[in-house]
Chains A and B, each alone.
Chain A
Amino acid sequence: MTEHFEILVVGAGPAGIAAAVSAAVAGKRVGLVDDNPAAGGQIGRGGADQPIAARHWMSRLDRLDGSSVTRLQGWRVFDVPAPDTLRAECGMECRDLSYGKMILATGARERFLPFPGWTLPNVMGAGGLDAMVRGGLPIAGKRVVVAGTGPLLLAVAAHLARRGAKILAICEQAPLGRLIQFGAHLIGEPSKVLQGIEYGWAMRGARFYAGCRPVEVRGSDKLAAVTLEQKGKQWEERCDYVACGFHLVPNLELAALLGCRIEDGFVAVDDLQRTSMADVFCAGEPTGIGGVELALIEGEIAGLAAAGRTQNAEKLARRRKRGLGFVGALKEATKLDPRLKTLAKDSTLVCRCEDVSFGRLREHTSWRDAKLQTRCGMGPCQGRVCGAAAEFLFGWDAAQIHLSVRPPVFPVLVSSLRTPDKLKVQDDGFTKTVALQLKETE
Chain B
Amino acid sequence: MHESANSVTLTVNDILLIVASGTTVTAAMLIAGVPTRRSATGEPRGPLCGMGICFECRASIDGVPHQKSCQILCAEGMTVRTS
Contact = CB atoms under 8 A, between A and B. Distances in A.
Interface of A: 35-37, 42, 46, 74, 76, 92, 109-110, 112, 119-125, 127-132, 135-138, 221-222, 352-355, 379-381, 384-385, 411
Given A128-B47, A136-B19, A136-B31, 19 more contacts: A37-B72, A42-B51, A109-B53, A121-B44, A124-B48, A128-B50, A132-B70, A135-B22, A136-B20, A136-B24, A137-B30, A137-B31, A352-B54, A353-B40, A353-B55, A354-B40, A355-B40, A380-B58, A411-B55
Task: Give the most central of A121, A125, A384: most B CB within 10 Å.
Answer: A121
Nearest to B72: A37
Contacts of A120: 44, 46
B53 A381 contact: yes
B17 to A, nearest CB: 11
Contacts of B22: 46, 135-136
Contacts of A355: 39-41, 43
A124 B51 CA distance: 12
Contact of A352 (B20, B27, B35, B48): B48
Contacts of B72: 37
The 7 tightest CB contacts between A and B, nearest first, are A131-B50, A121-B46, A136-B23, A135-B24, A128-B50, A380-B55, A136-B27
Task: Give the most central of B36, B40, B45, B51: most A CB within 10 Å.
Answer: B51
A221 B35 CA distance: 9
Contacts of A128: 47-51
Interface of B: 19-20, 22-24, 26-28, 30-31, 35-36, 39-41, 43-56, 58, 64, 66, 70-74
B71 A109 contact: no
Nearest to A251: B53
A139 to B, nearest CB: 10
Contacts of B40: 353-355, 379
A112 B47 CA distance: 13
A35 B47 CA distance: 17
Contacts of A354: 40
B56 A352 contact: yes
Contacts of B58: 380
A128 B50 CA distance: 4
